[in-house]
Amino acid sequence: MSEPLEYATVAGLLSLYRSRAVSPVEVAKHQFERIQSLEGSLHCFVTQTPEVAMARARQAEKDWQHGGAVEQNTRRLAGIPYGLKDVICTAGILTTGQSKILEHNVPDADAGVEMRMKESGGVLMGKLTTYEFAHGGPSWDLPWPPAMNPWKAGYLPGSTSSGPGAAVAAGLLPAAIGTDTGGSIRMPAANCGIVGVKPTYGLISRRGVLPNTFTFDTCGPMTRTVEDAALVLGAIAGYDDEDIGSVYHPPVNYLTDLNKGVKGVRIGWVRHWYDGDANCHPDVPPAVEKALEVLSGAGAIVEEIRLSDLLVYQDCKTTISITEMFSAYEHEFRTRPQDFGLMFRNKVLSGSLIRAEDYFQALRQRLWLGRELARAFREYDVIATAGWMTPADKARPDKLDKFLRPPNITTPFNIGGGPAMNIPCGFSQDGLPLSLQLAAAHFAEPMMFRVGHAYQQMTDWHTRHPTEGLIQ
């Protein structure tokens, strides 16, 4: 075993279980010991679930002893520890949305995505830190502290799937499930040096997931390798009649195309979104360019393309988002607005003043921009750009986040609705992770994984682990 156990990948753990080198119970215990030693500084968990985890780990041990269910893929993640962002409901387990509003909320039913993780044999280790209702910035006036970045003490892990990002990067978990409405899986993946996947809208059930923006919300895997993301996506993807946004799509084995390489794959490179932008860190463009050189060297055809400016995408997305978000939490805004954190209030309360005609103009713009992306995907298998504009930000409890951040480079693919993924592609001069973003047409996850996996086979960024921010 080349990696320490805490950094074993999902695929690696399955292989270890298959060979009986280690058992799910041993792994769960080992991971909880690591969580205990680091949680005091990283704050990745809102709730830890050791009793649930050990019961599931014992069941997974039986699965592996009998073999059949695992090999037939019905328990394809048997014994894999994972965590859920704390906006994903869990029966009998506290689900807070990191908000005082739901501080004592214990749902009576599992979310659809948790049902699938449980059925697949995954071992739930706990509920992971987010921003309030998966929106805003890290608020310092909530009942739980924000997660911190394991790569450097005093730095943030990125957007709202912050606990999942930090936990996977720090080797507390090999996999986590986050949610992505405008980049909330991909940004922490970028800032924590891991893989984060926003799947096609409708591919994974949103039933039982506390809403951010109904028409953009997706759940997705956060892992350390593309192969692991493909494994987890295979377990959680599928139609759910109880999610009105769910789309029926025939089951796909996301591992089938992984090793096909990139020879002849056409990649449209959107450089103008980040290169030359005032908000872009100088270390980002060379890292992305170098990553594309690697892919080009392996036979991919990389051509620079132009799409609408990020601000155009951002205005459209945020108008829709704050309107839908206010509608989701309108009752609480009318009855106990002071119980929301300052950051959430500041970013969502304005949604109450958006007129219907403004919302519909944004929806018309959304279709227009979606068509732009569809035209690009007719010509290119994958679109590539920076995963995020900057390395991780410093934690600034004294500083109010801007009402409107500079445009997110992740948002266009939420507008388009297709899959997008961030993978590590280097480090800043300060030693913080940088990221490459890959996106594909609707339901073209296999092509996106194929390109990402090929890149990871030719580089070693995903095998590096943090040390500096791991204060015990």
Our CB check for another protein shows the closer of 175 and 322 to be 322
**33 CB burial (10 A radius; 0-12, 13-18, 19+):** exposed
Our CB check for another protein shows the closer of 20 and 355 to be 355
In 144-251 the beta strands, taken as DSSP E runs, fall at 175-180, 195-198, 218-223
**Are 107 and 90 a contacting pair, CB within 8 Å?**
yes
What is the rounded distance in angstroms from the CA atom of residue 333 to the CA atom of residue 13? 45
Q: Which stretch binds another protein (CB under 8 A): 43-51, 58-66, 344-352, 421-429?
A: 344-352
Q: Which stretch binds another protein (CB under 8 A): 99-107, 130-138, 283-291, 342-350?
A: 342-350
- Write out the H or E segment, with its range, that includes residue 363: helix 356-379
x/- binding map, residues 37-66, to another protein, per CB under 8 A? ------------------------------
- The minimum distance between CB 106 and another protein, in angstroms, equals 18
Which of 143, 299, 337, 397 touches another protein (CB under 8 A)?
Answer: 337
Task: Give the burial string for 92-121 (b: 16+ CB within 10 Å, else e).
Answer: ebbbbbbbbbbeeeebeebbbbbbbbbebb
Judged by CB under 8 A, does residue 322 bind another protein?
yes
Judged by CB under 8 A, does residue 457 bind another protein?
no
Judged by CB under 8 A, does residue 347 bind another protein?
yes
Say which residue the tokens 């309108």 belong to: 330
User: How many angstroms separate the Cα of 310 from the Cα of each of 75, 307, 316, 353?
Assistant: 41, 9, 10, 24
- Write out the H or E segment, with its range, that includes residue 37: helix 24-42
Contacts of another protein in 362-421 (CB under 8 A) = 362-368, 370, 372-373, 375-376, 379, 402-404
**306 CB burial (10 A radius; 0-12, 13-18, 19+):** exposed
- The minimum distance between CB 55 and another protein, in angstroms, equals 27
User: Residue 208 carries which side chain, given as an amino acid letter?
Assistant: G
**Are 411 and 314 a contacting pair, CB within 8 Å?**
yes
Judged by CB under 8 A, does residue 352 bind another protein?
yes
- The minimum distance between CB 118 and another protein, in angstroms, equals 20
Judged by CB under 8 A, does residue 15 bind another protein?
no
- The minimum distance between CB 102 and another protein, in angstroms, equals 20
Our CB check for another protein shows the closer of 283 and 372 to be 372
Our CB check for another protein shows the closer of 55 and 349 to be 349
Our CB check for another protein shows the closer of 24 and 351 to be 351
* Nearest in space to 44 (alpha carbons), one of 161, 215, 208, 179: 161
Judged by CB under 8 A, does residue 266 bind another protein?
no
Apex CA 318: angle with CA 316 and CA 323, to 5°? 105
Judged by CB under 8 A, does residue 305 bind another protein?
yes
Judged by CB under 8 A, does residue 20 bind another protein?
no
**338 CB burial (10 A radius; 0-12, 13-18, 19+):** exposed
User: Residue 331 carries which side chain, given as an amino acid letter?
Assistant: H
Q: Which stretch binds another protein (CB under 8 A): 52-60, 129-137, 256-264, 345-353?
A: 345-353
Which of 316, 436, 438, 470 touches another protein (CB under 8 A)?
Answer: 316
User: How many angstroms separate the Cα of 192 from the Cα of each of 187, 222, 325, 392?
Assistant: 8, 11, 27, 8
Q: Residue 442 gets which letter from DSSP?
A: T
What is the rounded distance in angstroms from the CA atom of residue 12 to the CA atom of residue 14? 5
Contacts of another protein in 220-259 (CB under 8 A) = 241-242, 244-245
What is the rounded distance in angstroms from the CA atom of residue 350 to the CA atom of residue 108? 32
- The minimum distance between CB 406 and another protein, in angstroms, equals 12
Judged by CB under 8 A, does residue 204 bind another protein?
no
Query: What residues make contact with another protein under the rule CB under 8 A?
Result: 215, 241-242, 244-245, 268, 303-308, 311, 314-316, 318-319, 322, 333-334, 337-338, 342, 345-347, 349-354, 358, 360-368, 370, 372-373, 375-376, 379, 402-404
